[in-house]
């Protein structure tokens, strides 16, 4: 069957099944299990209303548990097994093996670099753009254009930036803009930027910063607009300059939003895979954890170490997870 | 200050969050305010925004322009110079034409270019002096032969004896041509059936992955969100916390266990697997977004409906779903962009050894490996994959912003 027809059929079947499930399960509940008539009508209605939320929740909870909660446990279990020994329990041997791998430490170092640089830079740029565009007439267009990379895939962005970093032999016209500028400013040899160890990490980070700045800008722009104008006016009357107003009045008031943006970008950064995979595939010391994991899982076929490195990513996310859950619990109480 | 006050006083009520969202992509009501007071600063603001926009657009425009240039053009000059005239050193062209006798001279006239367009800046008859002459000059060769070459490429060759049977001289030219763009790359990548690297199939595969993977989670999540927002039951707060917790679980953890599961229950690698995976991974955000939105709907409407005897199912389909349209649209866009742009999930759950089910992101990664230097192919392929999300982005930006605002956990 042609995939497009299959897809269409899946939409119809999927949506139909969902609707049918919700519709008929409610009917079964109300008409047959706890009918709202006869001697126990009142009690039956109450009982039906106790069960009903779970009817509504069941498909989602089932999918969430199977596709996200169970894998966390299963990955943890796999990280303690060795597939080559018939899934024998090997304790922390996979972790020991991973910690002895210099590539892993390279990935760790790079990930930490990414975590320091990308969220900070994106948030800072986002804040600057949000503030600058707030009061100019064509600010909305400017925001739209800076926001645009959000819609571009990491792979597409990688191609875009690979062209920027392209290098041609010395003496010919450079078609990568970075080398063109470098030569124009008096550089003699064009540089293959992505192969310069250590610094190439930053050239990869630029891609993610380019994408995430728009996100930071949008959220922070909304926060800036939410600031009560009288606080700003009071500061102007007291003789504060524009920079003082920005740093001492506005930024403190949107601090919680800044933290939210920061953590959201941090999570995105931790999981970064496509950019490294498409641009260098971890060569020239640009490995990161997610790509290291992919390498172990699908090239080396080493599920033990692969799972162990996935658990490391999970551990790095956990503080944010706990903090989010804590805040939501506080809110709903 | 006065006019900005007047503007604010129009609304006696504090701005609702929704108005703030609407305002993000509208310009500020007045030019007054902090920046407006010092004109020097205003200029600095305009210039720096202009600079930032330029910086952000430049790379994408580069890709776009490159996708309309031929491989030779891309390789010989930067895309930023493609809009100006192109100066090009052509390979040697040998004169040819029919000989006519005029008096005691044997003359050959013609044009060295097959198509008009380029104009000659300088030329020469020897590879050691390719720019010896300007247009209109006459070069005197050995054995009393002469060549005159005009700017448009027309030449006049004269000799004292017939050149029948002997080779005519070559000319080396440096020309400048007007900017030239072509649709040939798109033709090759989209409509050429013999091109095994084409994007047409990958495009349809991506579409096939994306649409069910966007629609199905919405429905499942909407019911759950309604229960979490408006139904009383023990453990509700705990379930909300559970969903928020899953929001940040890296999907890297799910790869192996789920692939094992899919292979175990016979789904294997294929569309069904990738739809299920995208549904599972999209659900936490969907439930979270929709629940937050539904909680904010007015309580009266729902309670009135309950009093009037509507069942929960009716309340949900007739009242909640239509009212939640903005939140549904927000999530739909986020999920659409995410599934369209995804590489990892498709590689793990969809693409098998046959390669028949490749998606565009994967196709591009493979082209990056095999055709790393062929920028006309890469740029075109990348732009084909980018154009759909870009259209969705510009058409539905407002909903996207709303979704992002609601989706970043506070």
Q: Tell me the C-alpha distance between A161 and B235, whole Å.
A: 48
Mean pLDDT of A175-195: 83
Judge whether residue B20 has pLDDT over 60: no
Residue B282 has pLDDT above 80, yes or no: yes
> What mean pLDDT is predicted for residues B212-220?
87
Taking CB atoms and an 8 Å limit, are B74 and A310 in contact across chains? no
Closest CA to B67 of B189, B229, B237: B189
Whether pLDDT at B73 is above 80: no
List the domain range (segments joined by +) for residue A69. Answer: 3-78
- For A69, residues 6+ apart whose C-beta sits below 8 A from its C-beta are B246
| Rounded Cα gap, residues B305 and B325, in angstroms | 19
pLDDT at B268: 80
B70-91: average pLDDT: 75
Q: Does A19 touch chain B (CB under 8 A)?
A: yes
Q: Give the DSSP H/E element, type plus range, for residue A146.
A: helix A139-147
Alpha helices in B231-270 (DSSP H): 236-247, 255-264
Q: What is the predicted pLDDT for the residue at A4? A: 66
Chain A residues in contact with B381 (beta carbon < 8 A): 159
Is the Cβ of B7 closer than 8 Å to some Cβ of chain A? no
Flag whether residue B337 sits within 8 Å of chain A, measured between CB atoms: yes
Q: Are residues A232 and A286 in the same domain?
A: yes
Report chain A residues whose CB lies below 8 A from the CB of B368. 158-159, 162, 278
- Number of domains within chain A: 2
Chain A residue whose CA is closest to B376: A163
Question: Best interface-test mutation with B: which of A18, A24, A71, A194 has the largest number of B CBs within 10 A?
Answer: A71
Please, which pLDDT band fits residue A191 given cuts at 50, 70 and 90?
confident
Query: B195 — contact with chain A (CB < 8 Å)?
Result: no
Does the beta carbon of B60 lie under 8 angstroms from any beta carbon of chain A? yes
Chain A residues within an 8 Å CB radius of B340? 153
Token code pair at residue B266:
């016979």
**pLDDT higher than 90, residue A30:** no
Fill in the DSSP letter of residue B374: -
User: Is the minimum CB–CB distance between B385 and chain A shorter than 8 Å?
Assistant: yes
Query: B204 vs A4: CB contact, 8 Å cut-off?
Result: yes
- Average pLDDT of the residues of chain A: 85
Q: Determine, for residues A57 and B237 on separate chains, whether the beta-carbon distance falls below 8 Å.
A: no
Contact yes or no for B248 and A317 at CB 8 A: yes
CB contact under 8 A, A311 and B253: yes
| Closest listed residue to residue A166, CA positions, set B351, B63, B46, B5 | B63
* Angstroms from A56 CA to nearest CA on chain B: 5
Per DSSP bridges, beta strands B146-149 and B138-140 are antiparallel
Q: Would you tell me how many other CB atoms lie within 10 Å of the CB of residue B369?
A: 10
Over residues A263-285, the mean pLDDT reads: 86
Q: What is the pLDDT of residue B167?
A: 78
Please give the average per-residue pLDDT across A244-266, as a whole number: 88
List beta partners, residue B124. Answer: B172
Q: What is the pLDDT of residue A328?
A: 82
A78 touches B: beta carbon within 8 Å = yes
**Contact indicator for B254, A68 with CB cutoff of 8 Å:** yes
In a domain, A83, yes or no: no
Residue B18 — very low, low, confident or very high, per pLDDT cuts 50/70/90? Answer: very low
Give a yes or no: residue A84 inside a domain: no
- Chain A residue closest in CA terms to B44: A132
Q: Decide: helix, strand or coil at residue B140.
A: strand
Neighbours of B84 (CB within 10 A): 11
Chain B residue numbers touching A132 (CB-CB < 8 A): 45, 48-49, 52
Confidence of residue B38 (pLDDT cuts 50, 70, 90): low
Give A269 to chain B, closest Cα distance, Å. Answer: 11
Domain regions of chain B by residue span: 1-30, 86-177, 187-407
Q: Which residues of B touch A294 (CB under 8 A)?
A: 344
A313 in the same domain as A164:
yes
pLDDT at position B335 is: 92
User: What residues of A are in contact with residue B202 (Cβ under 8 Å)?
Assistant: none
Contacts with A298 from chain B: Cβ below 8 Å = 347-348
CA Rg, chain A, in Å? Answer: 27
Question: Does some domain include residue A278?
Answer: yes
The architecture that CATH gives domain B187-407 is: Orthogonal Bundle (1.10)
Nearest CA in chain A to B87: A173
Residue A260 has pLDDT above 80, yes or no: yes
Lowest mean pLDDT among B113-122, B294-303, B396-405: B113-122
- pLDDT of amino acid B33: 47
The SS3 of residue B107 is: strand
Beta strands in chain A (DSSP E): 81-82, 88-89
The CA-atom distances, in angstroms, between B401 and each of A211, B47, B394, B397 are: 15, 26, 11, 6
CA nearest to B349, candidates B269, B272, B261, B281: B269
pLDDT at B32 over 50: no
- Do both A172 and A264 map to the same domain? yes
> B230 touching A, CB under 8 A?
no
State the smallest CA–CA distance between residue A198 and chain B in angstroms. Answer: 22
Mean pLDDT (whole number) for B66-70: 83
Give the confidence band of B194 by pLDDT, cuts at 50, 70, 90: confident
In this prediction, residue A206 carries a pLDDT of 92
How distant is the Cα of B204 from the closest Cα of chain A, in angstroms?
7
Using a CB-CB cut-off of 8 Å, the residues of chain A touching B66 are 163
Same domain? A183 vs A296: yes
Q: Per residue in A214-225, pLDDT tens?
A: 889 988 988 888
Using CA coordinates, name the residue in chain B closest to A256: B410
State how far the Cα of A278 lies from the Cα of B366, in Å rounded to an integer.
9
Q: Give domain status of residue A219, yes or no.
A: yes
Q: How far is CA A169 from the centre of its chain?
A: 37
| pLDDT at B1 > cutoff 50 | no
B 267-306: CB under 8 A from A = 271-272, 275-277, 279-281, 283-284, 287
Interface of A with B in 255-294 (CB under 8 A): 256, 260-261, 263-264, 267, 270-271, 273-274, 277-278, 290, 293-294
Please give the radius of gyration of chain B, using alpha carbons only, rounded to the nearest integer: 33
Spell out which residues of chain B touch residue A220, defining contact as CB-CB under 8 Å: none
- Going by their DSSP bridges, the two strands A88-89 and B138-140 should be labelled as unpaired
A320: which chain B residues are within 8 Å (Cβ-Cβ)? 248
Question: Residue A47 falls within a domain, yes or no?
Answer: yes
Exposed e or buried b for every residue in A312-328, given b needs 16+ CB within 10 A? bbbebbeebbeebbeeb
Alpha-carbon distance of B114 to A21, in angstroms, equals: 70
**Residues in contact with B326: Cβ distance below 8 Å, sequence separation at least 6, in sequence order:** B293, B399, B402
Chain A neighbours among B 146-185 (CB < 8 Å)?
none
Interface test with B, best of A87, A156, A164, A265 (most B CBs within 10 A): A156
Size of interface A-B (CB pairs under 8 A): 381
Sign of the CA dihedral running B349, B351, B353, B357: positive
Is residue B30 pLDDT above 50, yes or no? no
Mean pLDDT throughout B308-332?
A: 86
pLDDT tens string A118-155: 999 999 999 999 988 887 888 888 888 988 998 898 99
Instruction: Please indicate whether, in this complex, the C-beta atoms of B256 and A11 are within 8 angstroms of each other.
Output: no
- Coil, strand or helix at B119: strand
> How far is B403 from B221, CA to CA, in rounded Å?
15
Q: How confident is the model at residue A1 (pLDDT cuts 50, 70, 90)?
A: low
3-state secondary structure B198-224: CCHHHHHHHHHHHHHHHHHHHHHHHHH
A166 touches chain B (CB under 8 A): yes
- pLDDT tens per residue, range B257-271: 888 888 888 888 888
Query: B126 Cβ partners below 8 Å, 6+ apart?
Result: B132, B172
Hey, are the CB atoms on A78 and B256 less than 8 Å from each other?
yes
Alpha carbons B145 and B392: distance in angstroms, whole number: 66
| Least Cα separation, residue B81 to chain A (angstroms) | 10
If asked whether residues A74 and A100 sit together in one domain, one would say no
Tell me: do A102 and A230 sit in the same domain: yes
Contact A290 B245 (CB under 8 A): no
B13 touches chain A (CB under 8 A): no
List the single range of B8-17, B107-116, B139-148, B341-350 with lowest mean pLDDT.
Answer: B8-17
B228 at A interface, C-beta within 8 A: yes
- Collapsing DSSP states into helix, strand and coil, what is residue B172? strand
Q: How confident is the model over A38-90, as pLDDT tens digits?
A: 777 777 777 777 888 888 888 899 999 998 889 999 888 888 887 777 777 77
Q: What is the pLDDT of residues B329-339, one digit of tens each?
A: 888 988 999 99
């Amino acid at each position: 069957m042609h995939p497009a027809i299959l897809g269409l059929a899946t939409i119809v079947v999927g949506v139909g099944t969902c609707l049918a499930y919700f519709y008929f399960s409610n009917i079964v509940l109300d008409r047959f299990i706890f009918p709202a008539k006869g001697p126990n009508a009142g009690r039956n209605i109450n009982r039906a209303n106790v069960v009903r939320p779970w009817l509504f929740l069941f498909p989602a909870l089932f999918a969430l548990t199977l596709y996200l909660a169970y894998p966390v446990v299963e990955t943890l279990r796999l990280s303690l097994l060795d597939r080559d020994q018939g899934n024998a329990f090997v304790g922390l041997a996979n972790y020991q093996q991973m910690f002895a791998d210099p590539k892993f430490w390279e990935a760790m170092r790079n990930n930490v670099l990414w975590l320091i640089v990308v969220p900070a830079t994106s948030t800072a740029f986002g804040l600057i753009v949000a503030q600058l565009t707030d009061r100019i007439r064509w600010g909305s267009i400017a925001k739209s254009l800076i926001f645009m990379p959000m819609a571009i895939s990491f792979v597409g962005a990688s191609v875009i930036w690979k062209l920027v970093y392209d290098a041609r032999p010395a003496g010919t016209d450079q078609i990568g803009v970075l080398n063109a500028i470098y030569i124009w400013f008096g550089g003699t040899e064009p540089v293959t930027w992505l192969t310069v160890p250590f610094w190439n990490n930053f050239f990869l980070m630029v891609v993610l910063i380019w994408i995430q700045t728009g996100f930071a800008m949008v959220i922070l722009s909304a926060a800036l607009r939410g600031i009560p104008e009288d606080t700003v006016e009071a500061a102007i009357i007291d003789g504060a300059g524009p920079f003082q107003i920005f740093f001492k009045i506005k930024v403190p008031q949107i601090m919680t939003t800044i933290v939210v943006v920061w953590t959201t970008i941090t999570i995105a950064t931790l999981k970064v895979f496509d950019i490294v995979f498409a641009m260098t595939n971890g060569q020239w010391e640009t490995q990161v954890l997610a790509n290291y994991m992919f390498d172990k899982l699908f090239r080396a076929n080493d599920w033990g170490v692969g799972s162990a490195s996935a658990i490391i990513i999970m551990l790095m996310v956990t503080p944010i997870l706990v903090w989010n859950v804590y805040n939501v619990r506080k809110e709903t109480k | 200050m006065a006019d900005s006050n007047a503007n604010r006083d129009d609304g006696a009520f504090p701005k609702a969050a929704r108005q703030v969202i609407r305002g993000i992509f509208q310009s500020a009501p007045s030019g007054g305010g902090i920046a407006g007071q010092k004109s020097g600063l205003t200029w600095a603001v305009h210039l720096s925004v202009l600079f930032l926009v330029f910086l952000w657009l430049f790379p994408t425009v580069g890709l776009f322009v490159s996708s309309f240039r031929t491989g030779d053009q891309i390789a010989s000059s930067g895309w930023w110079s493609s809009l100006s005239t192109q100066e090009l050193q052509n390979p040697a062209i040998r004169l040819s034409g029919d000989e006519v006798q005029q008096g005691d001279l044997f003359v050959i006239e013609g044009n060295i270019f097959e198509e008009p367009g380029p104009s000659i800046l300088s030329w020469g008859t020897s590879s050691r002096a390719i720019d010896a002459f300007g247009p209109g000059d006459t070069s005197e060769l050995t054995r009393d032969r002469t060549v005159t070459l005009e700017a448009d490429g027309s030449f006049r060759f004269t000799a004292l004896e017939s050149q029948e049977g002997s080779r005519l001289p070559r000319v080396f030219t440096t020309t400048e041509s007007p900017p030239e763009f072509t649709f040939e790359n798109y033709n090759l990548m989209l409509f050429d059936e013999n091109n095994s690297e084409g994007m047409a199939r990958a495009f349809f595969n991506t579409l096939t992955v994306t649409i069910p993977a966007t629609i199905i989670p919405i429905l499942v999540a909407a019911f759950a969100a309604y229960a979490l927002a408006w139904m009383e039951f023990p453990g509700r707060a705990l379930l909300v916390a559970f969903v928020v917790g899953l929001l940040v679980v890296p999907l890297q953890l799910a790869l192996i266990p789920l692939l094992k599961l899919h292979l175990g229950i016979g789904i294997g690698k294929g569309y069904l697997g990738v739809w299920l995976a995208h549904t599972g991974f999209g659900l936490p955000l969907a439930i979270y977004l929709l629940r937050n939105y539904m909680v904010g709907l007015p309580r009266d409407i729902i309670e009135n409906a309950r009093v009037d005897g509507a069942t929960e199912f009716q309340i949900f389909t007739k009242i909640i779903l239509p009212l939640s349209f903005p939140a549904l649209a927000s999530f739909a866009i986020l999920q659409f962009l995410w599934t369209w742009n995804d590489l990892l999930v498709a590689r793990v759950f969809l693409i098998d050894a046959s390669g028949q089910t490749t998606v565009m992101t994967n196709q591009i990664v493979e082209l990056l490996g095999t055709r790393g230097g062929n920028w006309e192919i890469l740029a075109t392929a990348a732009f084909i994959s980018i154009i759909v999300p870009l259209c969705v982005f510009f058409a539905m930006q407002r909903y996207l912003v709303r979704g992002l605002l609601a989706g970043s956990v506070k």
